[in-house]
A and B are shown apart, each in its own frame.
Chain A
Amino acid sequence: MTAGQPPSVVQNSGQVLPAGHEPANLGDILERVLDRGIVIAGDIRVSLLDIELLTLKLRLVIASVDTARQIGIDWWEHDPWLSSRARPPVEPGPRDPEQVEAERRPRVAARARRRDAEVEEWDEFDG
């Protein structure tokens, strides 16, 4: 399908930058391998919900793994802005951390309640 085309990055200056020798951006890769791709039920279940939680995290993972460790792993989990379910049309700019925190509390509880109830729905957000 893509045989013979060197991977490239084109910017709107018309500039074409070969990207073949550089490993692709980790964020781009994570976004694709976790959030997209076909879902086939394996026997070893990492549920879609687990993957979804991971997807939320990857919304801000991570130029550097070390940075992420310093940040701590869970505070972004339920930030609606980072959630693929919330999906705002355009990034609203810097958010007030207190507002984020206030919004996430009820979501954490709701998510915990939902956790065992339904899994199926998670695959539909990408429509």
Chain B
Amino acid sequence: MSSTAEVAPDRRAAVTGVWLHGVVRDVDRVALATVAGMGGVAVRAVSAAGLVAVVSTAPLDEYGEEPLRRNLEDLAWLERAARTHHAVVEALARQGPVVPARLATVHTDDGRVAASLAARRAELSATLARLTGRGEWGVKGYLVPGASVPSVASGAGGGGVGTAYLRRRRAQLTAREEHQQVASAAADAVHVALCEVAVAGRRHAPQDRRLSGVSAPMALNGAYLVDTAALPRFSDLVGSLGTRHPGLRLELTGPWPAYSFVAERPEPAGAGGESR
């Protein structure tokens, strides 16, 4: 956790860094001037290798290594940063394909950003080509409480009140387990079906209830890259899958910038420079 020596904070010249929002093929610079970046200052473009990086100027007293680590733990700061970064990426996605950068990708200056564009030109260009004319859609599946859980006949069988309670309780637990298995199988089936219409699909970890803000457990947290032309078919399919699987409530969100489809492969091992 030693702070870096390279980014000498006592040199007045080095007080700002460059926060990377995303990479595009081309950008309308006039429109860019209206997009608010980190700290509310308009974003700008850094061009290199036939690509354009859209960046914010990032004062290092807020976005330097130590401040950043501290600020990321500050949930109010994190929310502001995440929303701002996402808003920029979304503004870019409205114009065309964009490769979004993970939050908190900060370079020391424009030259370094240009160098990383040049170094990854082939990969970035290929990704941009793959995303053209497509959007990311999210499909979440929530367990429908009580769906397909058989109501337990009360009072059946001998024994006292306590026994009846225990029997009922056991039946409820079994029913819940079965319910979850059914929902899990339904989530698998929904994902497979959606992947047939989508160009690509990913399943992410289901969100915790506190994150989703929905009291029902989530069984499916999928992301799908969908051709714009196939979108009506895709959303119809979500509707019909919902009807076919009443144990799941499906929710479609989007279009999102293609966050889930920009890292097709993990970083090659030994790419160097990735670990510290």
Contacts and interface: CB of A to CB of B under 8 A. Distances in A.
Contacts of B219: 90-91
Contacts of A23: 83
A65 B75 contact: yes
Contacts of B222: none
Contacts of A25: 212-213, 253
B45 interface: no
Given A34-B82, A69-B75, A27 B102 contact: no
A60 interface: yes
Interface string A30-53: 111111111111111111101100
B103 A31 contact: no
Contacts of A47: 275-276
A16 B234 CA distance: 13
A13 B69 contact: no
Contacts of B258: 1
Given A12-B242, A54-B72, A44 B108 contact: yes
B254 to A, nearest CB: 7
A126 interface: yes
Interface in B108-134: 108, 112, 116, 120, 124, 127, 131-134
Main secondary structure of the interface of B (DSSP, over half): mixed
Contacts of A60: 208, 210-211
Contacts of A81: 208
Contact of B274 (A8, A30, A32, A48): A48
B263 A1 contact: no
B267 A120 contact: yes
Nearest to B95: A3
A109 interface: no
Contacts of A30: 78-79, 82, 211
B100 A33 contact: yes
A29 interface: yes
Interface residues of A, number: 71
A37 B100 contact: yes
Contact of B180 (A8, A28, A44, A93): A93
A26 B176 CA distance: 30
A13 B248 CA distance: 12
Contacts of A91: 143, 180, 206, 208-209, 217-219
Contacts of B231: 5
Nearest to A117: B275
A32 to B, nearest CB: 4
Contacts of A10: 235, 238-239, 251-252
Contacts of A51: 102-104
Given A38-B101, A73-B73, A119 B79 contact: no
B80 to A, nearest CB: 10
Which of A25, A41, A119 gathers most chain B CB within 10 Å? A41
Which of B127, B133, B135, B254 gathers most chain A CB within 10 Å? B254
B262 A29 contact: no
Interface stretch (B31-39, B60-68, B146-154, B158-166): B60-68
9 contacts: A5-B255, A9-B252, A10-B252, A12-B239, A39-B263, A43-B112, A46-B104, A51-B104, A90-B206
Closest 3 pairs between A and B when the two form their complex, measured CB to CB:
A12-B242, A44-B106, A91-B217
Given A46-B69, A60-B208, 9 more contacts: A12-B241, A14-B239, A26-B83, A36-B260, A38-B23, A44-B106, A44-B108, A46-B72, A126-B204
